[in-house]
Amino acid sequence: MEFLPFNLSVQDIGSSIQFAIAPIFLLVGTGSFLNVVTMRLGRVVDRARALEKMVEEGEEEMLETRHLAELRLLDNRMRYGNRAVFFCCLAAVLICFLVAVLFILDLASVPAGLVIALLFIGVVSCLSVGLLSFLQEVSLATKALRVRTEFIKRKTGNQAE
């Protein structure tokens, strides 16, 4: 049994491509999600840099305390955002390996169900950790927004709802 037979037909190759292309849709979705996470992360970094500059310039103590509290929150958001990016990138790399393995092993007619299953489990696990990290980052951002709204209402004299 040859590893890669040289008499492959166009139909055999086309079939292998069809078989291996399905995870590409998962890769596209992962890439889109990475775009969202990195855009949010960039905005968090920009806000942190602006706050750092305000603290360095020295403002009144109440504002400086508030800015430092927000910097701590932004630091946590960056940590969760970076974790989400890492695990989603890892998932994307595993998807690429999965596509290559599916294509090569289908062409070679080698059964490798366990390898494919393990790669897919790795992809889903990495995506799950990335999504959970993103959920934590969004939760922190929402919590900060809620606090600011209450702060503004208190300062303007409106009753909290």
Lowest pLDDT segment from 13-17, 23-27, 124-128: 13-17
pLDDT tens, residue by residue, 26-68: 999 999 999 999 999 999 999 999 888 888 877 666 677 788 8
What confidence score (pLDDT) does residue 1 get? 45
pLDDT tens, residue by residue, 88-142: 999 999 999 998 888 888 777 777 788 889 999 999 999 999 999 999 999 999 8
Q: Cα separation of 36 and 110, whole Å?
A: 38
Binned at pLDDT 50, 70 and 90, residue 8 comes out as low
Q: Please list, in sequence order, all residues whose beta carbon lies within 8 angstroms of the beta carbon of residue 94, skipping any fewer than 6 positions away.
A: 119, 122, 123, 126
Q: Cα separation of 154 and 108, whole Å?
A: 70
Largest CA distance in the chain: 82
Q: Please list, in sequence order, all residues whose beta carbon lies within 8 angstroms of the beta carbon of residue 56, skipping any fewer than 6 positions away.
A: none
